[in-house]
Structure 1
């Protein structure tokens, strides 16, 4: 399980999507595409990987799919997610 989570987070576009979803709101694929500069098919594939790792859940809304971070993450996975995001922020500050 944890290897699937870490593997899903290792790809920059997926990590950026998680960072955007961290606000707790639902975001449609169209928002993620625009913000991250990805095509619809590419963004959908990335979100499917995050969904398979149980990091996000989705909801269909007419033609769009809306995603949010899975509110039922185990405490350990939530801790890993927070640690990855925290380390990423610290790394970005260090190289800036």
Structure 2
């Protein structure tokens, strides 16, 4: 997981936006539209980042397709300290 976190947040151009998305999701679950509005990002940009985060086990979504909510995974939360370390470098 630590390698995936470094890649997602520090190893690519989208890292800062992914940090912002994860920060919002740790405050409370949200859907892609809510994240786009809250962060001032394009909906397609948010869904791209959510897909990347989901593929690497950082977030998971509910079962409903329309308006599905995203949550940090338990696995991600076990590595929250690593995320904070990386986020401090990216922000």
TM-score, length of structure 2 as denominator length: 0.76
Q: CA RMSD in A?
A: 2.3
Q: Identify the structure with the greater strand proportion.
A: 1
Of 73, 78, 81 in structure 1, the residue corresponding to residue 80 of structure 2 is 78
Question: Highest relative contact order (Cα 8 Å, sep 6+), 1 or 2?
Answer: 2
TM-score, length of structure 1 as denominator length: 0.73
Rg larger for: 1
Deviation by residue 1:34-84 (Cα, 9 ceiling, x = unmatched): 011222221111011111221111114352221111123373x23211333
How many residues align structurally? 87
